[in-house]
Structure 1
């Protein structure tokens, strides 16, 4: 009985905190016109080696990651931690933060593998690791929530960011097979948005019912309401623009693990 109540409390806590507000951390809202670029080749090499496509999902082969490649991931994260992203252009910064978020998430899973879900990695009364300080950049300890909700969302104000960051879950927009760069960001954002919205885990229209990912409920403010949300979705598929019925939501927290 105690376990049941703990689960209920955890789930209620999650749903009350599932959508942190987009609140700018002004420290990070700086950039330069520097022509310097940030090297993401180590992250790309890991994606090439361990990410596979299966149906609507890209899956990570966590069980196959070698000790050498775990060290390569640590080296990549150390290289990012030693960078002050404020000394780069906004385009370089966006790619930096997305890749940092996604690579940190993979590291969290590898450090706690095997696990059935990232939601199991929080403390006793936590739903997941998103509020845990896990890296320091430019003298500031950061959590995954800091990166997403205090940097990416408020600085760029682009709802497609929700298709870029990956939470290691089947219900999440896919981890992209390409590392983000200043040059490919717009292409990857469009690709990831189209893929997610045209997958059942993103948008499922069947028998007059519209089932959406909970992302569109948790972050409704980023999509500016139901009418604007449908307009957003209809940019990538043409069968939802005129939908007038009830919307339901779903999300699968199972680990995005390759069998």
Structure 2
């Protein structure tokens, strides 16, 4: 009984300490599941993502350069079957037999469609973090929930991003491609990812986010306020400050390039992230 009281007390303390709660929302590390490295670069098979493109054409709205919103209410009303049908079709693909570029497009499109379907399953919600279906006492959001089965293995959104995409490709532009259904995250792309145009699409996604104030902006004191994305996944964007700045400059437009200047370190004033749902409607 004393041990039970102590455990309850520890839980209450953790809930009362902001830092402890933040640990629960810390980004997972890239932890490769080796089985998913299987691929066939001699394969000429091409996966048709036309069904997902049709959804994007109908329900995605471009609000400004680098910013899109999704009509969840409209999709909930008459688009759910199309989205769910696309996800189901993708789970039947023998992904291990595809080329690397086909696999990348497959996983990113599946991740984004699955995220939209999860939101629709619980819509209306103010934020994706309100969908508390992940296992674990301090977990929030849907990312840890096993949602689909591909080639006999059950997968969550976290599995796709952190066990497959990040460790296999080791490309920081992944963070600009996968969408978390929030105002603060990189835009859900208006075009389904395609193996033939992959590099250009990833560059466009990176530039669209990096040049928007929600990614990088300078405050009145001259310090930089960055997206929390660059805090959660700092090492993915470069091991050193100089590497990180070089990453930003690679995609920066004239205005941001001028703001970054010639420095090899940034005066970071803080981080920001808007978890409100990227909905077309208030």
Give the alignment's TM-score, normalised by structure 2: 0.85
Q: What is the aligned counterpart of 1:83 among 85, 89, 93? A: 93
Match of 2:245 in 1: 230
- Cα distance in 2, alignment partners of residues 7 and 84 from structure 1: 43
Q: Distance in 2 between matches of 1:66 and 1:246?
A: 40
Question: Once structures 1 and 2 are overlaid, which stretch shifts more, 173-182 or 200-209?
Answer: 200-209
- Paired with 2:16 and 2:120, the residues of 1 have a C-alpha distance of 27
> What does the per-residue CA deviation read over 1:184-223, in whole Å, with 9 as the maximum and x for residues that have no partner?
2111110010010100111112331101101111001111
Structure 1 SS opposite 2:43: coil
| 1:141-183 Cα distance to aligned partner (Å, 9 max, x none) | 0010100001000100000100000000000000000000101
1:139 aligns with 2:152: yes
Decide which of 145, 166, 175 is 1:162's aligned counterpart. 175
Cα distance 1:244–1:216, how it changes in 2: closer, same or farther (>3 A)?
closer
Once the two structures are superposed, residues 11-51 of structure 1 have per-residue CA deviations (whole angstroms, 9 ceiling, x without a partner) of 84443442111111001001112101101000000000000
| Higher CA-based Rg | 2
Equivalent residue, structure 1, for 2:83: 73
| Counterpart among 139, 150, 158 of residue 163 in structure 2 | 150
**Contact kept in structure 1, 2:14 and 2:21, CA below 8 Å:** no
8 Å contact from structure 1 (residues 14, 127) kept in 2: no
Give the TM-score normalised by structure 1: 0.93
CA contact (8 A) 1:10 1:125 kept: no
Aligned length: 256
Q: Tell me the distance in 1 between the aligned counterparts of 2:152 and 2:233.
A: 29
Q: Give 1:194's match in structure 2, choosing from 207, 222, 247.
A: 207
Alignment counterpart, residue 30 of structure 1, candidates 20, 25, 38: 38
Is the Cα contact below 8 Å between 2:179 and 2:187 reproduced in 1? Answer: yes
Cα offset for 1:84?
1.8
Contact 2:228 2:273 in 1 (8 A): yes
- State yes or no: 1:18 paired with 2:26: yes
Distance 1:246 1:9, change over 3 A: closer
1:40 aligns with 2:49: yes
Structure 1 residues 169-178 or 10-19, which shifts more? 10-19
CA distance, structure 2, for counterparts of residue 139 and residue 185 of structure 1: 27
Q: Indicate conservation of the 8 Å contact 2:109/2:192, yes or no.
A: yes
Structure 1: any 5+ residue segments left out of the alignment? none
Q: Which residue of 1 aligns with 2:4?
A: none
